[in-house]
Structure 1
C-alpha cells in the first residue's frame, strides 16, 4: 500500500470527485424534474375550469371538446384506450379538492339556494411519451391528452453530466501520465540500491520529476567515481603492501639469530594476514549483485570452512541436517564460518566448538565466560577483547559484513555456561 500511496491518493480524489458530482447532478435532476412537473401540472386549473362549466351548464360533449381543443387538449373517448392508459400509465402527480355548486330549489316556502359539495381528483399521467390529465368526479370522469406537452427530458442534463465526468476522467489520466516518470524513477532507484550502478536516471523534460531525475543521474556519476577511486586505491595499496611484505619475509631469512628471524616472520605474517582481511572486507562491501550466489549444502559449506582453517576435526562437533541448503557466495560464507570456528576455539576453556542447527539457524557453541560487552562492541572493526591474542579485531566485523550481504545478522546468547553465536535471519532484509 505504501508503495502506491500517491496513486491511491489520486485515485481516491478521483472517486470522491466523481461520487460528489454524481450526487449533485442526481439531486439537481430530481429537483428539476419536480419543478417541471409542478409547472405543467398548473394546466389542470384551466382543464378543471372548462370541465366544471361543462357540468354546470350541461353543454354537449362536442362543445367541451371544442373548448379544450383551443388549448390543444384532446378528449380520449374510447373506453378501451382509457382503460389501457389508466392501467399502465405512470402517475406523475395527483391532487384532490372539493367543488361547491349552488342550485336554486323550490319548496312550499318558496325559492331557496342549495349548495352541493362534490369531491374532485385530477391526476397527471405519463404513457408512451405523452402527458394525460384524468379528472374524476362523482358525476363523471374524463381523460384528456395534452398535445403541447412532452414528458420531462433528461438528455441535456445527462449530456452536461457526461461532459463533466469526461473532463474529470481525462484530468485523472493526465495526472497518471505525469506520475509515470515518477514510478519509473522509483524502480530505477530500487535497482540502483540493489547494486545496478550502471543504470541511468537521465531524462528529457523540464518538469520537477525530470529535474530530480537529472540530479540523481549527476549524483550517480559522482558515487560511481568515488567507488571506482576507492576500489582502485584499496587494490593498489594492497598490491603495493604485498611487495615489501614479500621482500621483508625473504630478508628475514638472512638474519643471524633464530629469535630475530621468528620475530620478524611473525610481524610480516601478521601484516600479510591484515592485507588478506582487508581484501575480503573490500570484496564483501563491493558485492553488487547475487550472480555469484549458488545453492550449496550447509554440511559442505561447514566442511569447506574447516578445511580452509586447516584445523583438526577432533575439536569440532557438528550436528546439522545434511539435507539443508543455502543460497550463498560459497567462498565468503565459508570464511565467515571459519572465523566463527577460530573465535570459538580461541576463547573456549576446553578448545572445543559445537556447530548445531536450531530452528534453521546455524549456531556456534563454546564453553567459557560470557562476553563482557554487548555484541555490537565486538563487531566493530579493530575491536579486541584480549590484546594478547593474535588477532586484529576484524574477525567478527568481517563475519557480520558477510552475513548482512546474505540477509542475516550475527546474534549472541549465553546458555548454561556456553557462548552461542547465531547466524540469524535479518527480518528487514529484502532480496
Structure 2
C-alpha cells in the first residue's frame, strides 16, 4: 500500500470530493423540494375556504365548481378519489379548525352561536398531477389542480452532472500527469536491481521530466565511474599478480629457511588480499545476482569446508539436508569459508560448530569475546592490535556477500562461545 500512497491519496481526495458535492446537492434538492411543496400547498387555503362556504350551504355545487374553475381546478369523481388515495404519494398534510357564527333574534336581544368544524387537507401526487383531498366533519372531496405539476429537478440535476464531470475530468488529468512518475518508479526499480542500461530520459519540461532527465545524467555518470573503477581494479590486480608470482618463485631460491618461510607468508598474504579484492569487485558490480540458483545448504557448507582445507573432525555440521536457498554458490561458499578460517584462527581449540537455529545459519566457536562492536570488525583491514593476525578483508567480504543475498551478519557471545549469525535482513 505504501508504494501507491500518492495514487491512493488522489483517489481518496476524489472520493471525498464526490461524496461532499453529492451530499451538498442532495441537501439542496431536499430544500428546494420542500420549498416547492410548501409554496404550492398555500393554495389549499383558497380551496378550504371555497369548500367551507359550500359545506355551510352558502353556495351550490354549481357555484362551487365554477369558483374552482376560476383557479383552474376541478372536482375528482368518487371512483378516482379512492384510487388516488390508495396509490398517490402524500406530499403534505395540514389540519385546521373553522368557526361559523349563527345569530338568533328575539324581542329583547340577539343570540350568537359559534359552530366549530375540523378540516384536514392532504396534498397528493399521482401520475404527474397534484391533488388536494379535503376531509371535514360533514364530508370529503378530492380536487385536482391542473396548473400544478410535480417537482422536476432537471436544472439542479444538470448542474450536479456538470460539476461532477468537471471534478472527474480534473482528477483524470491529475492521474494522467502522474503516469510518468509511475514509469519513472519502475525504471528506478530496474536500475536498483542491476540493470545499468535502463534510460530515465523523458520528453517534456515539467517537474517530472526535469527529475527524470537529471536521473539520466546521474546514471551516465555512475556508469562511467563504475566502468572506470572496474577497469582500475582489474588492471591493478592483474599487474599485482605477476610480481607476486615472480616473488613466490624467487623465494624458493633463498638459502635461509626462515627467510623463505617469511617471504612465502608475505606473498601468500598478498595473493589472498588480491583474491579478496577480486571477490569484492564481483560482489559490488551488481551482476552477481543474475547467477543465483537453488542449492542445498549442506552442499554449500561442504564446498566451503573443502576450499578451506580444514579437517572435517574440526567442524560439526548440524543443518537439515532439506534446507535449500537461492544463492550464488561461489560467493556464498566463500562467505562460509571465511567464517571457518576466522574460527580456526582465533579459537583456542580450533573447532567450530555450524548449526541451523530458527532458519538462521550460526557459526559457534570457543574464544574470547570481541572487544569492539561487530561494526568495527566488518570494516576493511580492521585489527585490534598491530599484530600479524587481523580480520583484514575477511568479515568485510562476508558482510558484502550477505548484503547481496539480502542477509546481514550478526554476533552474540554466550558462556565463552562466539556466535556469528547469517541473519535475514529485516
Q: Is the 8 A contact 1:274 1:392 kept in 2?
A: no
The worse-fitting range, judged by mean Cα deviation, of 254-263 and 228-237 is 254-263
Gap change, CA 1:419 and 1:96, over 3 Å in 2: same
Gap change, CA 1:344 and 1:54, over 3 Å in 2: same
2:25 maps to 1:25: yes
3-state SS of 2:160 partner: helix
Q: What is the CA distance between 1:60 and its match in structure 2?
A: 2.4
3-state SS of 1:224 partner: helix
3-state SS of 1:206 partner: coil
Counting only pairs closer than 5 Å after superposition, residues 196-215 of structure 1 correspond to structure 2 as 196-215=195-214
Gap change, CA 1:251 and 1:392, over 3 Å in 2: farther
Tell me what 2:89 maps to. Answer: 90
Tell me what 1:299 maps to. Answer: 298
Q: What is the CA distance between 1:100 and its match in structure 2?
A: 2.3
Gap change, CA 1:380 and 1:45, over 3 Å in 2: same
Measured in 1, the distance between the counterparts of 2:110 and 2:315 equals 137
Tell me what 1:150 maps to. Answer: 149
3-state SS of 1:247 partner: helix
Gap change, CA 1:109 and 1:345, over 3 Å in 2: same
3-state SS of 1:355 partner: strand
The worse-fitting range, judged by mean Cα deviation, of 386-395 and 342-351 is 386-395
Counting only pairs closer than 5 Å after superposition, residues 334-345 of structure 1 correspond to structure 2 as 334-345=333-344
Measured in 2, the distance between the counterparts of 1:34 and 1:338 equals 85
3-state SS of 1:291 partner: helix
The worse-fitting range, judged by mean Cα deviation, of 262-271 and 84-93 is 262-271
Measured in 2, the distance between the counterparts of 1:368 and 1:118 equals 111
Counting only pairs closer than 5 Å after superposition, residues 186-265 of structure 1 correspond to structure 2 as 186-265=185-264
Q: Is the 8 A contact 1:75 1:145 kept in 2?
A: yes
3-state SS of 2:91 partner: strand
Gap change, CA 1:110 and 1:255, over 3 Å in 2: closer
Q: Is the 8 A contact 2:382 2:390 kept in 1?
A: no
3-state SS of 1:230 partner: helix
Q: Is the 8 A contact 1:75 1:143 kept in 2?
A: yes
3-state SS of 2:289 partner: coil
Measured in 2, the distance between the counterparts of 1:239 and 1:289 equals 21
Measured in 1, the distance between the counterparts of 2:352 and 2:85 equals 100
Counting only pairs closer than 5 Å after superposition, residues 2-401 of structure 1 correspond to structure 2 as 2-56=2-56, 58-76=58-76, 78-106=77-105, 112-288=111-287, 290-385=289-384, 387-389=386-388, 393-401=392-400
The worse-fitting range, judged by mean Cα deviation, of 222-231 and 417-426 is 417-426
Q: Is the 8 A contact 2:380 2:396 kept in 1?
A: yes
Q: Is the 8 A contact 1:356 1:362 kept in 2?
A: yes
Q: Is the 8 A contact 2:377 2:391 kept in 1?
A: no
The worse-fitting range, judged by mean Cα deviation, of 317-326 and 26-35 is 317-326
The worse-fitting range, judged by mean Cα deviation, of 81-90 and 67-76 is 81-90
Q: What is the CA distance between 1:57 and its match in structure 2?
A: 5.1
Structure 2 residue ranges without an equivalent (≥5): none
The worse-fitting range, judged by mean Cα deviation, of 359-368 and 102-111 is 102-111
TM-score, L = length of structure 2: 0.94
Q: What is the CA distance between 1:107 and its match in structure 2?
A: 5.0
3-state SS of 1:195 partner: coil
Deviations 1:23-54 (A, max 9, x none): 11111111111111111112122223333333
Measured in 1, the distance between the counterparts of 2:180 and 2:288 equals 25
Structure 1 residue ranges without an equivalent (≥5): none
Deviations 1:355-400 (A, max 9, x none): 2222222222222222222222111110123644455611111111
3-state SS of 1:420 partner: strand
Measured in 2, the distance between the counterparts of 1:40 and 1:303 equals 96
Measured in 1, the distance between the counterparts of 2:311 and 2:388 equals 20
Q: Is the 8 A contact 2:289 2:404 kept in 1?
A: no
Q: What is the CA distance between 1:282 and its match in structure 2?
A: 0.9
Measured in 2, the distance between the counterparts of 1:289 and 1:250 equals 34
Measured in 1, the distance between the counterparts of 2:333 and 2:288 equals 19
3-state SS of 1:8 partner: helix
Q: Is the 8 A contact 1:196 1:289 kept in 2?
A: no
3-state SS of 1:370 partner: coil
Q: What is the CA distance between 1:156 and its match in structure 2?
A: 2.2
